[in-house]
Structure formats: structure tokens, C-alpha cells
A and B are shown apart, each in its own frame.
Chain A
């Protein structure tokens, strides 16, 4: 019983302990401004990571999320910068993300390229297009408030970014845990062949999940551009490892060994707490990367040895 609880909530508790540690260690940490800052940072990371989670639910890995987000941000930025109606720019960003996700899906399910490779290819293509569009420079400017409010505004006193995160998180959770479609996504990731024999269209499920991952990257991009009033190639790259770490760390809590939305969200928050706290305590910036890498290794080691190997871990052994 205690063991079960520890497996479920152990790493989550460690996150809470970390939070307490920083609260005691730094006078600034617990201030409302700082907490709001952490939550806003969590929004970008969380939404991007939710996309990765959905792909991983079907046992596919999307390494293109960051480059796709950068491309979508650049497209949105270029349009806003050029004076296009912000809503059209936002729509374009979302469409670009979704299309890149769909491209991943087609590469994996129609062309039979393993997602590890397919998404690397799409990432490289997205990166190329980002630089082509910007010619290497960034779009920066005084952009219309209707656009920047998307990320910077507030609703009922709560920053919009937090609403976005809550909305996307809730929708993804509802999808995965409470809908037939979600059950089919999970079954596809858990047991491809058994799911297919049970009449689940597993290829469509994988395509859908990868497409949703792209859509999440598109939304992250729009929010990033809106928040920063700028768009540049590679602008989402910093979030790449963080997003993967959030998903993998999230797999160590709540539903051990499985990609799960609450885990991803809580882990994303914990990682941002960690980054923020380390800075407040005066740690050199490179410690963040070292800690992040360690978290990734330990999380995967946990899901590789814990209760029942996660299907994606088996897949990474390339014994398809």
C-alpha cells in the first residue's frame, strides 16, 4: 500500500519538497509576482509538453515540436508584423503547427518511417523554412494589443496564459481519460496489434495524436510570439528538452509508467520551479541543463524498470 502510494506520488512529493525548499531558501520565491511568473513560464512549456504527451500516448515520439513551434511563431510574427489582421495571423500559426503535425503523422503511418526519424526530418525542414522566412533575423515591433493580449492580458484577475494552460490541459485530460477516442489512442499505444484486431483504427489514431502534437506546438508558438512581441527562428528551442523532461518526469507520477496529462502538467510546473529557484539561489545557468539531463535519464530509467515497461521504451530498442 505504502509502496503503491510512493510509486504514484513519490516524485510529485519530491516536487512539493523542492517547492518548500526554495520557499525557505529565498525570500523572493513565494511572492505572488514570482509565482505568477513561474506559472506563465509553465504555460508555454506545459502546452508544448501536452502535445508530446498525446503523441507518446500512442507510443510515438515527436522530436519536431520545438522547431515546428518556431516555424509557426515566425509565420504568425511575419503576418502580424506585415499588418495582417491578428486573427488571421493566429489562425495561420495554428494551421502551420497542425500541418507539420499531420506531416509527421503521414510520414509515420503512411510512409512507415519510425517517428524518431520522421519527426527529426520534419524538424529539419521546419527549421529551414523558419530561416528562409526570416532570412535569419527576428520580427520585432509594437504589435497590436489585440494580438499581444492573447498572452499578456488577464481574465478575472488571472493571466491569460494560465487560462490557456488550464484549458488545453483540461481538454487533453478529458480526451485521454473520458472519451472513446482517447481510449482508442491509449489502446493504440499500449497494444497496437490487439487494438487493431479489436477494430481500432490504430494508424488513424497515431496520425491524430501526431497532428494534435503539432497543433499544440502551433498554439505554443502563437502565445510565445504574443507574449514576446517578437518572432525568430529557433525561438522555441529552449523549451525542447524541458518539454521532453516534463513528459518523462510526468510518467513517474500519478500513473507510473504511462504518459499522463496531470503528470506532464505537474512535472512542467516542477521543472519551472526548479529553474526559477536555482536562479534565485544564485546557481550558475549551466546547472539547469545538468539537472535537466539527469531528470530525463532518471525518469526513463524509472519507466524502463518500473511496473511493466512502457511500450515506447521497448520501441526505442528498435526491435520493431
Chain B
């Protein structure tokens, strides 16, 4: 099997604290992989490494079987990895299209002025792909529901044609209905053959959308298996298990 993303011997230490040790992970194109683990297990540390927000203190990252090193989040984004952070993803008072194209606005010749119409149209297109129905692309994001906001953040990843979309706790702050909506978004991404890495504490979400689950404990990978056949209860038990 050729993998889109491979991690070999990834380690991360913050001074005396070791957050990750010798993590190996292969992710194939089009997979939805859930990253689980108890508090402090190292999930966020791993996400930050993949997002280009920090460099690992050990190990290598390979994209399409070539070694990669991300200088910063922009670099990772350009190489096709988009990360959606839980609350810092959007500018609340800016419009939908402004958020989708945040930092990567489109311009139009001859004067190089902003092409607002095209950005609004494209945003509408991205939302349609996610089956999210919002009439006015000028709507400030703060007036959207939590689920719609996640959709806007995902649209930014689509705008970059990201191959790998990492979502850090996308449903943590959401109600039942909105959670269902976000899970639906993930299914759509799956259907479009995007690769998704989902960090979640909600086992029922993992069971609902993930192909595979990776469990970290104390910075080590302790499980890596297909989700099929597992229940939320099984997963919770795996995470809680003490001695490895």
C-alpha cells in the first residue's frame, strides 16, 4: 500500500516533558482517520506537527514518499495539509467569503483589486459541495450556527484544494443537531475522496464517520485499527485502559 502521509519515529519533547515518542503512522489517500486518546496523550502535539505549527524533535514526515519539513502553517497549507482549529479558525465579524479567502484573497487584473464577486461565488460553490445552504455570502460568520461555522472553516481548506484536512475537536462545542451536521460535512469530504484526520473525544462521532482509529497513550501509539465492528464503548475502554 502506498500512503499519502507517513510518519516515522516522530518524537516531541517540550524541555523535560515528552509529549510524543516514536510514533509511526501511515495514512492512505481518502481515509478518515480518528486520532483519540486521553487528556495529555499527545493528540494536539501531533496535530501541530502536521499543521506545520511546530517541528518534531525526532523523526521524519513523508508526503507521497518524499521527506517533508514544514517551515510554518502556510508551508503545510501549500503542500496540501489544512488544519481547522476549534475556535481560532474564523474572524467572527467578517463575512463568509472574507473568511474562506482569509489571507489568500483573489484579485483581478488590470489593477490587482480584490475580486469580491468571484470570491463570493466560489464560497457559495464550496458550501454547496458541503450541502450547506446559506443565502448571503456577505453574512458575518458570527451570525452563523456552530455547524455552519465549521463548514466555512472547511471551505477554506477546499479553497486550498487541501488533500489532507485535519480537524481538532470539531464537535466539542456543538449541540446534538449541529454535531450531526458536522459529521455530515465529514462524510461529504470522505465522499469527495479527501483525507481527513479527526481529533475527537466523542467516541460515537468516531464510530459514525471514521474508517480507522489511532489511539495515543502517554505519547505512544497504542492502537491503530479499522473502526468497523467497534462500538463507542469498546473505544472508550481502549482509551482508558491503564497498563499497556
Contacts and interface: CB of A to CB of B under 8 A. Distances in A.
Contacts of B104: 198-199
Contacts of A308: 92-93, 140, 142
Interface stretch (B37-45, B82-90, B173-181, B206-214): B82-90
Contacts of B15: none
B114 interface: yes
A191 interface: yes
Contacts of B89: 194, 197
B107 interface: yes
Interface residues of B, number: 24
A37 to B, nearest CB: 35
Contact of A198 (B103, B114, B142): B103
A286 interface: no
26 contacts: A178-B113, A178-B114, A179-B114, A180-B114, A183-B105, A183-B114, A187-B94, A187-B98, A187-B103, A190-B92, A190-B93, A194-B88, A194-B91, A197-B73, A198-B102, A198-B156, A199-B72, A199-B73, A199-B74, A199-B77, A199-B104, A200-B103, A257-B93, A308-B92, A308-B93, A308-B140
Contacts of A179: 112-114
Contacts of A133: none
Interface residues of A, number: 22
Nearest to A200: B103
B113 A187 contact: no
A195 interface: yes
Contacts of A200: 102-103
Contact of B91 (A174, A190, A199, A258): A190
Contacts of B77: 199
A184 interface: yes
Interface in B47-82: 72-74, 77
Interface of A: 174, 177-180, 183-184, 186-187, 190-191, 193-195, 197-200, 257-258, 308, 311
B183 to A, nearest CB: 24
Given A197-B73, A199-B77, A180 B105 contact: yes
A195 B74 contact: no
B91 A191 contact: yes
A194 B102 contact: yes
A187 B140 CA distance: 13
